[in-house]
Structure 1
């Protein structure tokens, strides 16, 4: 069946709804591993509580709690305990729809290497800045590709064999997606909710980390980004997006400019 691995660092505000949605899935049997790492809050306790109260009896649910605060470390610890060949890796703020896990298992039921994800939906943000940014961001070429995989991706056994342990890098999700050619990626119709981070300063921090992650991949894995397979953003398309949503364009451009002007290291920041 399926093993779901959830790295979680200080996620007490999100882990409950994430696990409740997961436990309501239609999949009859699954293994779920929450790997709390470097938490200074009640993430691990809340995860145990949800599992105790809501997990199906046929599911095998575990909470690991480590002092080390590292997402790659957490992913590797979860992998070491996984007992099913099909693996899904889930961010702790994602809300899956009821049929998504079963749809992923079905899509990955092949001997050929496959990468799969659901259809992402961004729920309405509280701040006007994030709402405007999200509107424009959703129209960018990356989001027109099959299974962009932010917040949730899954692989079958042949796909997981494409890499060994998760490397200590920033963009683990991009690293995994680019182990697969575009025609090896599958997007199912079932949806999941992926909230975007709130506010201009937070968007800037996350965007800076994204850019640092891309540069790191370029440096450590030459040629890997050539597998992206995203369509080019033509000037005509860009002008059309500007005219359609000038506020979204201005917001996205302002965040991009702030990233270039401000300095800062790629410390972990949740969301996009």
Structure 2
């Protein structure tokens, strides 16, 4: 493919159970482009599974490149993918996410402007297997961050002018937050097409993920003073929190229990989120 209009970079570490569904959904998109899977530090067959999609990618009009890196780390994977990507519009997709057929076309259309712009789709959390994750997810989706425009968890995209806002992805915990905050609220766009973003299962796993998320935000605040001011999410406030709690007591109790567990054990034992 000459001069693709879209490059999709997928960092994938031990994602053998998810990468197949991710690529199947991507190659069913209404628009074709360049897909770069960066298997990094894998102890499973993520790279081999991705390579097995070469024929499906070609039939759908996509080019597929799979990098199999010995070194782990998501920032390293993102940078490796970026170095060989050729399109002006770059989408960064988690390997456990499944996009809807029209999402990539909507992102390309939204980002086909000269001004710097950040875009994402409309996230949907599939029904979890565990009751605790279902309750947590239900409440979490009503919080200000999840309700804000273009939060971008699991998928974000930028145009060429937007990608020029930063150089390499820094070696930090929360790459998605770092990128989103390179853009003012009016520079972030959420297109209506959905994508499925699964949430991790079980209380202990949710606690580890939440600990990681909190550490990532604290790290950005420490390293990039003033950047969090661009978040511009609505304040939660006691009255709004009370209203949410009354609306969903079980969801509130689950969310509060995870929050308390994070505060009671502040260590480095965390899990990347899904």
TM-score when scaled to structure 1?
0.97
Instruction: Confirm whether residue 24 of structure 1 aligns to residue 28 of structure 2.
Output: yes
Q: Which runs of 4+ in 1 moved over 3 A?
A: 53-57
Conservation of the 8 A alpha-carbon contact between 1:94 and 1:151: yes
Is the contact between residue 11 and residue 43 of structure 1 (CA under 8 Å) also seen in structure 2? yes
Q: Structure 1, unaligned stretches of length 5 or more?
A: none
In the aligned structure 2, how far is the partner of 1:239 from the partner of 1:169?
A: 34
Alpha-carbon displacement from aligned partner over 1:138-190 (angstroms, at most 9, x marks no partner) = 00000121100000000000000000000000000000000000000000000
Tell me the equivalent position of 2:118: 115
User: Deviation at 1:99?
Assistant: 0.4
Residue 272 of structure 2 is matched in structure 1 by: 270
- Could you say which residue in structure 2 is the equivalent of 1:9? 13
SS in 1 for 2:222: helix
After the TM superposition, which residues 122-137 of structure 1 pair with which residues of structure 2 at under 5 Å, given as runs?
122-137=125-140
The secondary structure found in structure 1 opposite 2:7 is: strand
**Aligned equivalent of 1:48:** 51
Give, in angstroms, the shift of residue 234 of structure 1.
Answer: 2.0
- 1:97 aligned onto 2:84: no
Tell me, yes or no, if the aligned pair for 2:173 and 2:216 is still in contact at 8 Å. Answer: yes
**Structure 1 residue matching 2:233: 3-state secondary structure:** coil
Q: CA deviation at 1:90?
A: 0.2
Corresponding residue to 1:83 among 77, 82, 86? 86
Give the alignment's Cα RMSD to 1 decimal: 1.0
**Equivalent residue number for residue 142 of structure 2:** 139
| Alpha-carbon distance between aligned partners in 1 of 2:59 and 2:169, rounded to the nearest angstrom | 29
C-alpha distance in structure 2 between counterparts of 1:121 and 1:77, whole Å: 29
- Structure 1 residues 67 and 238: CA distance shift in structure 2, 3 A: same
Task: Determine the C-alpha separation between the residues in 2 that align with 1:212 and 1:64.
Answer: 29
Native 8 Å contact 1:212 1:266 kept in 2: no
In the TM superposition, residue 54 of structure 1 has moved relative to its aligned partner by: 4.6
The answer to whether structure 1 residue 221 and structure 2 residue 260 are counterparts is: no
| 3-state SS of paired residue (1:264) | coil
Q: TM-score, normalised by structure 2?
A: 0.96
1:254-265 to 2 correspondences below 5 Å: 254-265=257-268
Superimposed CA distance per residue, residues 13-42 of structure 1 (whole angstroms, 9 cap, x where no aligned partner):
000000000011010x30000000000001
Provide the aligned length of Structure 1 versus Structure 2.
Answer: 270
> Is the Cα contact below 8 Å between 2:91 and 2:156 reproduced in 1?
yes
Does structure 1 conserve the Cα–Cα contact (< 8 Å) formed by 2:27 and 2:56? no
Structure 2 spans left out of the alignment, 5+ residues: none
Give the Å deviation of 1:263: 3.3
Work out whether 1:33 is the aligned partner of 2:36: yes
CA contact (8 A) 2:93 2:156 kept: yes
- Alignment partners' CA distance in 2, 1:145 and 1:24: 28
**Do 2:184 and 2:230's aligned partners in 1 also have CA atoms closer than 8 Å?**
yes
